[in-house]
Amino acid sequence: MRISLAQICSVPDVSRNTDAVCELIMRASSENSDLIVFPEASMYPFGQGRLDTIAEPLDGRFATTVRETAEAAGIVAVVGMFAPADSVETEKGTRHRVDNVALAVGRDGADGDRVDAAYRKIHCYDAFGYRESDTVRPGNELEYFQCAGMTVGLSTCYDIRFPQQFKDLARGGAQVIVVPTSWSDGPGKRDQWRTLTAARALDSTTWIAAAGQARPGGYDKVGQSDGPTGIGHSVVVGPDGTRVAELGYTCGYVTATIDTDRLNSVRQSIPVLGDD
pLDDT at 91: 73
Please state the separation of Cα 75 from the chain's center in Å. 16
Q: Choosing from 40, 56, 71, 143, which is the catalytic residue?
A: 40
| 159-193 CB burial, b ≥16 within 10 A, e <16 | bbeeeebbbebbeeebbbbbbbbbbbbeeebbeeb
Q: Choosing from 121, 132, 147, 167, which is the catalytic residue?
A: 121
40 is catalytic: yes
9 is catalytic: no
Per-residue pLDDT of the chain (276 residues; tens, 9 = 90+): 999 999 999 999 999 999 999 999 999 999 999 999 999 999 999 989 899 999 999 999 999 999 999 999 999 999 999 999 998 887 778 889 999 999 999 999 878 999 999 999 999 999 888 889 889 999 999 999 999 999 999 999 999 999 999 999 999 999 999 999 999 999 999 999 999 999 999 999 999 999 999 999 989 999 998 878 999 999 999 999 999 999 999 999 999 999 999 999 999 999 999 866
For residue 126, give the nearest of 118, 111, 137, 116 by alpha carbon.
Answer: 137
92 is catalytic: no
Domains and their CATH numbers in the chain: 2-269 (3.60.110.10)
What is the SS3 assignment for 158? helix
pLDDT at 276: 67
Q: Choosing from 9, 22, 124, 157, which is the catalytic residue?
A: 157
Residue 125's φ and ψ, nearest 5 degrees, are: -80, 80
pLDDT at 129: 84
**In terms of DSSP H, where are the helices of 148-243?**
163-171, 189-204
Which H/E stretch holds residue 66?
A: helix 61-73
For residue 232, give the nearest of 9, 2, 48, 21 by alpha carbon.
Answer: 9
